[in-house]
Amino acid sequence: MEFTNCWLQYEKISDANHKDIKVYATTEGNIINNAIEELTTAFDMLYNRRVEAVFGGEPKDNENAAASSVELRLNPELKLGKEAFRIDCDSGRCVVSAQTQAGLLYGVFALIRNLRVQRVYDFDKWSFTLEQNPSNPIRMLDHWDNMDGSIERGYSGNSFFFEKDEIIINERTYAYARLAASVGINAVAINNVNVRGMATWLISDKYYDKLRSLSEIFGSYGIKLYLSINFAAPIEMGGLDTSDPCDERVKEWWKNKAKEIWQHIPEFGGFLVKADSEGRPGPFTYGRSHAEGANMLADAVRPFGGLVIWRCFVYNCQQDWRDQKTDRARAGYDNFMPLDGMFADNVILQIKNGPMDFQVREPVSPLFGGLKRTNAMLELQIAQEYTGQQRHVCYLLPWFKEILDFKTYCGREHDTVADIVAGRTYNNTNCGIVAVANTGNDINWTGHDLAAANWYGFGRLAFDTGLSAEEIASEWIMQTFGYNEKVMENVMEILMKSWPAYEKYTSPLGIGWMVKPNHHYGPDVDGYEYDRWGTYHRANHKAIGVDRTPAGTGYTQQYNEPLASIYADKRTCPQELILFFHRLEYDYVLPSGKTVIQHIYDSHFEGADEAARFLDLWRELEGLIEDEAFGRVEKRLIHQKEHAKEWRDVVNSYFYRISGIEDEKGRPLY
């Protein structure tokens, strides 16, 4: 089996010093063993130095002077968070301390990362200190993998967790856990939230042994295993005639099920639930609320320290496009705000970043800043469903930073999304960030080699929300392609310009959608216009956009002030979201001084030109990047250039045809 090591392919830095390095560990354990193995691989590959592991001790005084060492010091008394670490390195002697083995593992990965990004030539002359507490308690990846091996919205091959209704455990499983842990991921849900067919039976005897092994492998990298469950499991598996959360038989069924699961998988994390959403069963069938549904499950998993992660992606997916009153954007808030304060402590609401569905640009969901007595997690998507499906390069970290930095005005001192999901705002610990994963069994894990920057970046950002998108990109480039100034410069430019470029040549001004239905790839301006999904731009010959002000659907009122007023007034609404909140005529003059139609034309031409430049920038790197990776990326960038042109011409021609307005610059419109 073949796969790359992504950012963990340790390149030689120097082999001038061959002295062995002793690694002292105060305790043994699976996580410590992995930490030592990582140090062994890293020192060998980076410096050609051999590691000797010594368990149960510390360096003796007379050893200090002679030997280079790394000491892994487990100290439960340490005044740091549970997964935090401290590194103190001075002239060849390094101490990594942490309260837990997971903290030590993160410390080891941070140590190695710093050796690499600082290009430390002589470890024995290096002085370095770093203390770090992860920003978010839960840092999770949700895989939408199906048991037949396919992946919903998967763009990098098939699942490496499932095949033909069986669980796969092989070298890739370990490699995956190692990559995920290296960026601080501590929770993984392996199966699609749309739980159908055999996936319902994952919580049964048929799969427990394999799941336990998986959980142990994950556990040896500090990662908890979660499963998406089917809310109708008591009917489908249990033979009951209901899955009503208030029915005693249903409660009992889940309690027994939870007991059975934890008996078999003692380190199990808990359930991820998509209920009453896009055809999935849920409490609404029985006239029950989502709080009743989630709390019933929470009661069942509580004795085992389990969590219920409950998704807020609940909306009417059977809308009549003629109905101008129903607004899908309102649905999350309308469904969940009335329940604020009613959820059990071990329930976390998982909220997509925007009110719709992972578009290239959306306002931040008003549930952040709305909910004040409920645990919340931010759900992002690194699987690029609407952002180029890993065939286009689209580095999402600048977007994620904007989302995290968004001030919600919830009335607390710490009021950004980052504050809320980190637990700083409401002083809670069941919270964090999750991303829909972008991995599969392709050789490079993510289809597009540059898409691995989103996997790496998501983990790094979840661990340390203070990092900038550029810092993360720079670390990733260096560790993936090795240090070279030209490579750093060109790949940085491609990555940092990729999200804005994608927005420009697809759907600027916050309008979103305009994609081909079902698979969501490529331009189709009216693709979702007359459909049931509630995702309309309502463009006609005069105007485009949805009025979400109080005069329209009233969505703006779901925000706290001053946001509600800022968004409701087209003079103050941020330009990049103006068509999300307002219906504007094509000759309306935007804050930039351009008309709406001219902005549409210009941005599409600009975006497509930028996509073409990505290919030029990449081609300048021929010979500086390993041939196969170079070729893989080049192929995708050629496609992106052509596809961006297609987007440009389809969208511009559509608006030219319906508006009849010429491009001021006289460029070809068809």
| Cβ at position 355, least distance to ligand GCV in Å | 13
Nearest partner of 126 among 43, 55, 30, 184, judged by Cα: 43
Question: CA 502 to CA 490: how far, in whole Å?
Answer: 18
Site string for ligand GCV, 316-335 (x = CB under 6 A): --------------------
Q: Is 643 in the site for ligand GCV (CB under 6 A)?
A: no
| Cβ at position 443, least distance to ligand GCV in Å | 25
Q: Is 654 in the site for ligand GCV (CB under 6 A)?
A: no
User: Please, which residue, 276 or 385, has the CB nearer to ligand GCV?
Assistant: 385
**Site for ligand GCV, residues 354 to 373, rule: CB under 6 A:** 357
Stretch that binds ligand GCV, among 168-176, 187-195, 472-480, 621-629 (CB under 6 A): 187-195
User: Please, which residue, 314 or 422, has the CB nearer to ligand GCV?
Assistant: 314
Question: CA 394 to CA 453: how far, in whole Å?
Answer: 9
Question: CA 322 to CA 529: how far, in whole Å?
Answer: 10
Tokens 């011409």: give the residue. 649
Q: Is 155 in the site for ligand GCV (CB under 6 A)?
A: no
Question: CA 391 to CA 384: how far, in whole Å?
Answer: 9
| Cβ at position 560, least distance to ligand GCV in Å | 26
Q: Which pairs count as long-range contacts for 566-570, CB under 8 Å and 24+ apart, including other chains?
A: 567/363
Residues 6+ apart with CB under 8 A from 476: 7, 452, 453, 456, 457
Question: CA 412 to CA 395: how far, in whole Å?
Answer: 32
* Set 38, 83, 145, 385: catalytic member: 385
* Set 278, 320, 587, 628: catalytic member: 278
Q: Is 274 in the site for ligand GCV (CB under 6 A)?
A: yes
Angle (deg, nearest 10), helices 101-117 and 171-182: 80
Contact (Cβ atoms closer than 8 angstroms) between residue 136 and residue 431: yes
Of positions 22, 86, 139, 153, contacts ligand GCV by CB under 6 A: 153
Tokens 């609940």: give the residue. 314
Of positions 161, 310, 313, 505, contacts ligand GCV by CB under 6 A: 313
Q: Is 193 in the site for ligand GCV (CB under 6 A)?
A: yes
Question: CA 588 to CA 444: how far, in whole Å?
Answer: 46
* Set 357, 415, 449, 547: catalytic member: 357
| Cβ at position 290, least distance to ligand GCV in Å | 15
User: Please, which residue, 181 or 435, has the CB nearer to ligand GCV?
Assistant: 435
Q: Is 276 in the site for ligand GCV (CB under 6 A)?
A: no
Checking DSSP bridges between strand 127-132 and strand 376-381, what pairing results, if any?
A: unpaired
**Site for ligand GCV, residues 430 to 469, rule: CB under 6 A:** none
| Cβ at position 626, least distance to ligand GCV in Å | 34
Q: Is 152 in the site for ligand GCV (CB under 6 A)?
A: yes
User: Please, which residue, 14 or 194, has the CB nearer to ligand GCV?
Assistant: 194
Q: Is 150 in the site for ligand GCV (CB under 6 A)?
A: no
Strand segments, DSSP code E, in 221-269 are: 224-229
Question: CA 171 to CA 187: how far, in whole Å?
Answer: 19
Site string for ligand GCV, 129-148 (x = CB under 6 A): ---------------x----
- Write the CA distances from 371 to 328, 333, 336, 368, integer angstroms: 19, 9, 8, 6
Which uninterrupted H or E stretch holds 379? strand 376-381
Residues 6+ apart with CB under 8 A from 524: 514, 515, 516, 517, 650
Contact (Cβ atoms closer than 8 angstroms) between residue 516 and residue 522: yes
User: Please, which residue, 100 or 191, has the CB nearer to ligand GCV?
Assistant: 191
| Cβ at position 280, least distance to ligand GCV in Å | 8
Q: How far is CA 152 from the centre of its chain?
A: 15
| Cβ at position 314, least distance to ligand GCV in Å | 10
Stretch that binds ligand GCV, among 68-76, 186-194, 597-605, 656-664 (CB under 6 A): 186-194
Q: How far is CA 377 from the centre of its chain?
A: 11
Question: Maximum distance among all alpha carbons in the chain?
Answer: 85
Q: Residues in contact with ligand GCV, total (CB under 6 A)?
A: 10
Q: Is 231 in the site for ligand GCV (CB under 6 A)?
A: no
Q: Is 400 in the site for ligand GCV (CB under 6 A)?
A: no
Q: What backbone torsions phi and psi does residue 503 show, to the nearest 5 degrees? A: -60, -40
Coil, helix or strand at residue 394:
coil
Q: Is 30 in the site for ligand GCV (CB under 6 A)?
A: no
| Cβ at position 278, least distance to ligand GCV in Å | 6
Stretch that binds ligand GCV, among 31-39, 192-200, 534-542, 629-637 (CB under 6 A): 192-200
278 has catalytic annotation:
yes
Q: How far is CA 569 from the centre of its chain?
A: 32
| Cβ at position 282, least distance to ligand GCV in Å | 12
- Residues lying near ligand GCV in the complex (CB under 6 A) are found at 144, 152-153, 192-194, 274, 313, 357, 385
Residues noted as catalytic: 278, 357, 385
